[in-house]
Structure formats: C-alpha cells, structure tokens
Structure 1
Amino acid sequence: MSGLMDFLSGVSFFGLSGYELLAIYTLPGVSYALFHLAKEYLNRPSKFARGMLAAIGKKRSVADHLINGFAYTIAFLCIAFGWPLFGIWAIFQSRKEAALEIERNKPDFNCLPEHLICKVDPHDAEIASYVVDPLGTVPPLPFGHLNQGWVNFLTEMLEPEDEMWSFYIPKGGEQGKHRFAASSAIRGYAKVCNGEILGEFIYERD
C-alpha cells in the first residue's frame, strides 16, 4: 500500500498529481456506483415490509448486514476502478436486451418461413377462392364468409416490395414464434417483404 502511495506521490502529468489523476479516472465509476447504490436504497423494503419479515422470522442478522456491507464495498471498488469494462459490458447488455425486446414485440403469426410454398398473384388467389353454393348459404365473394378478413389482408399489401405467398402448416407442425404444435393443418396466404413475414390470412383449418 505504501508503495502505491509513493508511486502516486511521484507521478505528475500536465501539472496534475497522481492523486488528482486517480480521482479523475475513478470519477465516472464512483458516479455510476453511487447512482446504483441510491437506486438500491430507494427500492429497499418499506418499514412495514421489514416488520412483516421480522414477524415471520426473516429478519436479517448482524452477520447478514456485515456480509451485505462487505459485498457492496467490494462491488463499489470494482466499479470505481474497473468502470471501462463495466461500461463495455453495459453496452453489450443493453444491445442484447434491445434485440430481445424487438423479438418479443414481433407479431406472433402461425406461418413460419419454412411453411411458405410459392409466390401468388392476389388476383389468381381470388379466382381460386370462389365457392359455388346452390343453397346460397355462402356469399358469392372471394373466400365467402371470410371475405372481410381477405379484404383487410389485401389492404396491408401497400409497398411495392410486398409479396403474397401461399403457405401450408401440417397438423402437429411447429407454428408461431413460440413453436407450438399446430392442432390442425392450416392453409393460407402470407404477406412477405424482403424475406420477412409481416401478415397472414388463414382460409382453411383441417
């Protein structure tokens, strides 16, 4: 320890002493550590919660407080002196969490890329969808009772890059971003843009 003190006493850079340089270096880490310590303090259990824990025998002992204090001290020193590494880790962690958030917010379509069969012209899909019903129980419209869903699906095909693909999901096949097994075979059309599925219209479940 005395060797470190002697070293700092002998260092001088741009008119700054070793102690001043050390203070400047550790300032970001100390600020970061104090910020998180303040957050921990504000998030501590309320007096009522502490009383409830004590009532059920969960009150912290003196040894627990000492261990906690020691752990916080070590963490504080590690962050104060190793803040560049913690900063790099925090950047990577935030990027990872952002990517996970994007994945969580993606629409959960039944269709997956492996279910796509072929590119389809919307006009051809409409022609093939008419059902002749002599009893008149099915309206004479593309996809019959599902026509409004079809119209809504077509209104999403706005960009020149948007493509319509037919798809088929076999019974028991994996479907959706959570890969659940399909309880029945599913046929439909998907809106695809640059290889990504952005919408779907299901017209048949077997």
Structure 2
Amino acid sequence: MIYLYWYLGVGVAVLAVVYGAHRLTKEKESEFLRDLLDAVNPDRKKLSYRILNNVVAPVLTAILVVAVWPVAVYMKAKEMLQKKDGTEIEKEREFAVERQHLQERLTVQEVERREVVTDPLKAVPELPFGHLNAAWQEFLNGHVDGGELWSFSARWQTTWGRKELRSGYVVVRDGAPCAHFLTVWKNILDDTDGEAKQAH
C-alpha cells in the first residue's frame, strides 16, 4: 500500500510541474477570436458550457495525469530532447493578407448586399453571411472604423505544402492590410487544375 501512496504522491508533483509549465507558456486567447467563437457558438456563454470546459475537463485531465504520470514524464522528456536536437515540429505559418491580394475597395453596404444568403427552405436567415452574421457584426465593430474595406483573394501554401485558396474581406489602414474576414477557404488540388474542393 505504501507504494501506491508514493506513486500517487509523485503523480501530484508531476501534475503541479505540468500545470505550472502550461500556465507559463500558454498563449492568451485574443479578444477578437473569443468574440468570433462566441458569435459562432452562443453556447460558449452558457454556464453549463463554462463549467464543463473550465471545471470538469481540467479535473478529469488532472486525475488522468496523476494516474498515468510516467506517460506524461516520457512525453515531456521526448519533447525536450526534440527541441535540443533541433528536430522540433515546425509551427504552421499564420495566414496574413498582403497588398497584392487586394481586389476591390467596397463599402460595408456593398459587401452586405453582395453577401445576403437566400435560402428557399428558410433554414438560413436572410442576412449578410447567413448564420455568420453575428461574426460579421463583431468584425465590423472591432476593426472597420478608420479604415477602408477591401475584398481579397489569395493563394496560400501552408508549412506542410498544402495549397489553399482564401478569400474574403480585409480592413486596410494607411495602405496596409490589417484584420480580415474569411468567406472562402478551399484546398486547391493542383495549380493547373481549376477545381478546388471545400476544406473541412
């Protein structure tokens, strides 16, 4: 029985170290991203959702770490060795709109007329961007003031070599593209192939 106590005691110590390291290295969720996620999924604001994600999930994770701490130690050691050897997994490049991607300067009204969703079955609200109208309004409230609104279209290659087409609208200030709102995100099968499949 004494071995079980020792095992669980070491597990608690490992949990404290892992939690502390996570808190020090965790990147804070941006306010715009949080607002966008809240607009797309209103359940995020509900108390039950917050309890499940901020209380239940961390408690279950803590119990799991204490129970199988040797696995956590092994994974952390492997990660540290990879960093030391220079074989760390390369981070995905972050997409950003560039000046050459700009297409047409538009007003908010022109964009909204262009993007009204008309669904004969009335499953989608007849609003600009349909179900994403709340996210569009958040985008407008947070970024458009004092800038120009442009449409853009960009061919983008990810770190892993996957080719994508990304289109939408971007705020331009002093000639520099800033925050953008994506409306199209497609994988491109081939540069010479006109067909593209919708990304999941």
TM-score scaled to structure 2, two decimals?
0.41
Larger Rg: 1
